[in-house]
Amino acid sequence: MKTNEKIKRAEKSILHTYDRYQVVLERGEGVYLYDTDNRKYLDFAAGIAVNALGYHHPVYTKALQEQAAKLTHISNLYYNTPMIEAGEKVLAASGMAKVFFTNSGAEAIEGALKAAKKYAFQRDGHAGHSIIAMEHSFHGRTVGALSVTGNAHYREPFEPLMGGVRFAAFNDLGSVEDLVDDTVCAVILETIQGEGGIYPAAPEFLTGLRQLCDDRDILLIFDEIQCGMGRTGDYFAWQGYGVRPDIMTCAKALGGGVPVGAFVLGEKAAAASLGPGDHGTTYGGNPLACAAVSTVFDIFQKEKIIEHVQGLTPYLEKSLDSLIQDHPCIKARRGKGFMQGLVIEGQPVSEIITRAMENGLLVISAGTDVLRLVPPLTIEKTHIDEMIGILKASI
């Protein structure tokens, strides 16, 4: 069946909430994707920073096949071995205390917000607490996650949302301090803002937030959904800053392509927040998803994925910086590790993305003027060179 016929079928049955590119992707191999017409694409989007191991990794594929043959779901009424193993590996990588597995990043945010509110309820003996979030942030599409997303465009059609949310300026500690009072139970932010335009947090901002939260007994929540799981050269981006959160959310690359998320609690939050009956999910922690999580951590260790990102980042950054010198429309590069953004001026980012796809490269946008590159963590120098060549032909 031709591509356009499949797209027509999709538009008849699938709710149109995405303006999808006119391509039907069918299979992947390594860091390349192939469409239904067998056209080949170098993938520097990775399913929006999800497919950290690329496609058809033999160990990952085998582990999922073996788990599917055993058990895919039993609910949270019972224990299962993959959940236990995955939980241990998340805590070993993060150095935190407890983990709750979810189905998505947005669900992880919801759980983190509930944990913070319950902590404050335990602390103060009453409800009615507020949360400080960041302008230009993005935390998800569910009502709670949308409530702390600092972009009015996303929020306005669905208001009223969750109350008690105040927005501060990212990387401006004074603006956070101005919003703090006795009602605040948490400060939530992305360690590196993704959808807002690839803005890394300033080290002094995170250090100041940690001190502020400690002084006021406020929980600090880091959203690591996009920037976590090795993308910046550490398992989690906050580890590169040396500033530990009280609660962390992760998803995307956590399962290497299988839908799974988690919120992870430090000792303080774990000891005095959610208890039996406070939170739940039917599918969270199911054996198939947790087998994926466990296997991703195993592959990261065996193949030294973190070290690979650290070693290759200077070459990626140097290669991207060379584009700035040759193309006046590229005004700046922002990012850390394999989470990079090129600021474009003078032509729509969407046009560059379309031309790149026509030339065999998948890239995506962040905000309105940033070309975002979040490739599989398994790319090599040859793939960076190929990407640069295609971008030069597409800008």
Contact (Cβ atoms closer than 8 angstroms) between residue 187 and residue 209: yes
Tell me whether residue 252 is one of the annotated catalytic residues: yes
For 160, residues 6+ apart whose C-beta sits below 8 A from its C-beta are none
> Active-site residue among 89, 98, 117, 252?
252
Rounded CA separation 162/181 (Å): 19
Q: CA angle at residue 302 from 296 to 308, to 5 degrees?
A: 90
Contact (Cβ atoms closer than 8 angstroms) between residue 258 and residue 63: no
The CA dihedral of 368, 371, 377, 380, to the nearest 10 degrees, is: 180
What DSSP element (H or E) covers 318? helix 305-326
Tell me whether residue 70 is one of the annotated catalytic residues: no
> Active-site residue among 101, 138, 167, 338?
138
> Active-site residue among 223, 236, 297, 336?
223
**CB-facing half-sphere around the CA of 308: CA atoms within 13 A:** 18
Contact (Cβ atoms closer than 8 angstroms) between residue 296 and residue 52: yes
Q: Active-site residue numbers?
A: 138, 223, 252
